Chain A
Amino acid sequence: MKNITTNIRKTILNMANASGSPHIGSALSCTDIISTLYFKVMNISKPISNDRDYFLLSKAHSAMALYGTLYEKDFLDKKTIEGYYQNGGTLPAHTDRDTSDFIEISAGSLGHGLPIALGIANSIKLKNESNKVFVLLGDGEMQEGSVWEAAMLAPKLGVDNLTIFIDHNNLQGYGRATELVEFYPVKEKWESFGWETYVIDGHDCKEIERVSKIQSSKPKAIICNTTKGKGVSFMEDELIWHYFIVTDEIKEQALKELI
């Protein structure tokens, strides 16, 4: 996985640089989670088919990590990646499902992905099908009320095919989730809502794979301890990389670290 995640991080840096788009830190934070799902966990292949597993990027401002992963899987081509965030381009900063069969939802406003995933998972269960549904949320996103509406309803629907990942990098737009709200205890919150809950290192691909594959009779919540900007030392855990633009100089500096 190391080569794969390094390649994806390079793609992300190149996309951020070529486009001048923000959110590099958020994308690097969840690269290991998304890539492990696509390369080690999910049943998904080209062309897209109805028996695929689903991945929904609810924290859609990290879209570069998804685009980079889909490119590495050969689900998106080079031209599409190069059209990211460009005038008359191919991919917006926040996902639009019209852009590719492999983009499951249009998203960008926080708190939408989990309810939609719950609908997909419920539909699959009602049809006695076996697809799995994975969703990635941000830790800041957990402040949205709709997340808790869905959190309360999901166990009641018996959606044992639903797994959420919380990218807990503790650095949202303008502060730390653990300081802005009563974030902790986070594991106990999800457990008390009826979810099977795990806390893991969100950059340990083997651990992500192992926990993702555990069978459970309940919906699963995997809290992933992560570092925003992971992989580029000067971006790690720095709030500015939620917004700052990757200049040519920054890109070269960062790429050296990824070799």
Chain B
Amino acid sequence: MRNTIANEIIKKAQKDKNLFLIAGDAGLRVWDEYKVDFPNQYLNPGVNEQCDIGLAAGMALRGHKPIFYNIAPFVIMRPYEQVRNDICYQNLPVILIGTGSGLTYAPAGMTHYAIEDIALGLTMPNLDIFSPADPIEAKKCFEYAYNSSKPSYIRVPKAGEETIHKNEDIDITQPIIIKEGKDGILFVHSSMIDEISTLDDLLQKNNINLTFATVPMITTKYKFEKILNDFNHIFTLEEHYENGGFGSLLTNYINNSDLCKKIIKFGIKNEYIHKIGNRDYLRKYYEIDATSVYKKIIKRIKKC
């Protein structure tokens, strides 16, 4: 997804001289060609994220279209107040791109995980948050952000993710159903998509057929009643703290609607991660891997 977005940035930079990339001393080899081809549209400012966000806001105030690229914690957490005051409060069309969503960089350590970035992002009105599940969604999310007059935050895992959509004919502003089933619906975003195939196989062996839907735009204005009315069992699965992610957002949505439904959220327990291991290991530890989720879904469906 990272490379897909990089390619899109290159394409836009060719046509739009106001596009300006600030790559916060990150993105090994990703920008090697870009910085040669577009020297006046590129800056590696060093390691100074507060300044970079202010810089991007200032450039947007003067008509540039700035993109700030860095690993996710340094895009939205380190300079949180700058994102809040300089970009979102002033409602400026800056695109923030954070790599290493969720536990991508495990076992780099807690400082390098982005498992509360959606929660932080949701506190800032005006900010559109995107969490694409495949390169096509990533491309479409970037396009949306590029054409938007509002601030955007796009979180992606890294490079090399599988493409799940058959073509680009998708609308990222609403949930995208990737498989239909009658026994319930599970919403997923970002790299957790790679648990879905195994999860579906396990459930089908038990004659349970779920609908699976991605939510590339976390801050979607979609009217969920349209889709949720059809299901008794509603699940969310994300590589994010259970509190404050898409699951929490959907729970709030339902609480504020006329729907008499309950959401079962699968996410990371709210604690600092001291456990050492790669992403798959930590998914198992926090019971958000396919097998753990399968067991919990079976239990839930049998119970209710």
- Could you tell me if A118 and B85 are in contact, using CB atoms closer than 8 angstroms? no
- Could you tell me if A106 and B89 are in contact, using CB atoms closer than 8 angstroms? yes
B-contact bits for A177-193, CB 8 A (1 contact / 0 none): 00000000000000000
Determine whether A83 belongs to the interface, using a CB cutoff of 8 Å to chain B.
no
Give the Cβ gap from B119 to chain A, nearest Cβ, in Å.
Answer: 21
- Could you tell me if B59 and A109 are in contact, using CB atoms closer than 8 angstroms? no
How far is A153 from B62 in the complex, measured between Cα atoms in Å? 19
- Could you tell me if A123 and B85 are in contact, using CB atoms closer than 8 angstroms? no
Determine whether A105 belongs to the interface, using a CB cutoff of 8 Å to chain B.
yes
Determine whether A93 belongs to the interface, using a CB cutoff of 8 Å to chain B.
no
- Could you tell me if A124 and B62 are in contact, using CB atoms closer than 8 angstroms? yes
Determine whether B53 belongs to the interface, using a CB cutoff of 8 Å to chain A.
yes
Give the Cβ gap from B93 to chain A, nearest Cβ, in Å.
Answer: 13
How far is A90 from B60 in the complex, measured between Cα atoms in Å? 25
Q: B interface, by DSSP: helix, strand, loop or mixed?
A: helix
From the candidates A111, A123, A127, name the one contacting B58 in the complex (CB within 8 A).
Answer: A123
Residues facing B in A148-177 (CB within 8 A) are 149-150, 152-153, 157
- Could you tell me if A149 and B89 are in contact, using CB atoms closer than 8 angstroms? no
Please, which residue of chain A has its CB at the minimum distance from the CB of B41? A126
How far is A116 from B58 in the complex, measured between Cα atoms in Å? 4
Give chain A residues whose Cβ lies under 8 Å from the Cβ of B160: none
Give chain A residues whose Cβ lies under 8 Å from the Cβ of B58: 115-123
Give chain A residues whose Cβ lies under 8 Å from the Cβ of B48: 146, 149-150, 152-153
Determine whether B148 belongs to the interface, using a CB cutoff of 8 Å to chain A.
no
The total of chain B residues at the interface (CB under 8 A) is 28
Give chain A residues whose Cβ lies under 8 Å from the Cβ of B85: 106-109, 112
Give chain A residues whose Cβ lies under 8 Å from the Cβ of B62: 119-120, 123-124, 127
- Could you tell me if B40 and A116 are in contact, using CB atoms closer than 8 angstroms? no
- Could you tell me if B61 and A115 are in contact, using CB atoms closer than 8 angstroms? no
Give the Cβ gap from A39 to chain B, nearest Cβ, in Å.
Answer: 24
A contact residues, range: 20 to 34
Give the Cβ gap from B30 to chain A, nearest Cβ, in Å.
Answer: 21
- Could you tell me if B53 and A115 are in contact, using CB atoms closer than 8 angstroms? yes
Residues facing A in B1-57 (CB within 8 A) are 20, 40, 43, 45-46, 48, 50-57
How far is A119 from B43 in the complex, measured between Cα atoms in Å? 12
Give chain A residues whose Cβ lies under 8 Å from the Cβ of B46: 152-153
How far is A241 from B195 in the complex, measured between Cα atoms in Å? 62
A115 and B50 in contact (CB under 8 A), knowing A123-B58, A123-B62, A126-B64?
Answer: yes
Give chain B residues whose Cβ lies under 8 Å from the Cβ of A111: 50
Give the Cβ gap from A66 to chain B, nearest Cβ, in Å.
Answer: 17
- Could you tell me if B81 and A109 are in contact, using CB atoms closer than 8 angstroms? yes
Please, which residue of chain A has its CB at the minimum distance from the CB of B91? A98
From the candidates B43, B59, B90, name the one contacting A120 in the complex (CB within 8 A).
Answer: B59
Q: A105-B61, A123-B58 are in contact. List 7 more A-B contacts (CB 8 A).
A: A105-B86, A115-B50, A115-B86, A118-B55, A121-B58, A127-B62, A150-B48
Please, could you name 6 A-B residue pairs with CB atoms under 8 Å apart, sorted by A? A105-B61, A115-B53, A119-B57, A123-B63, A123-B64, A145-B50
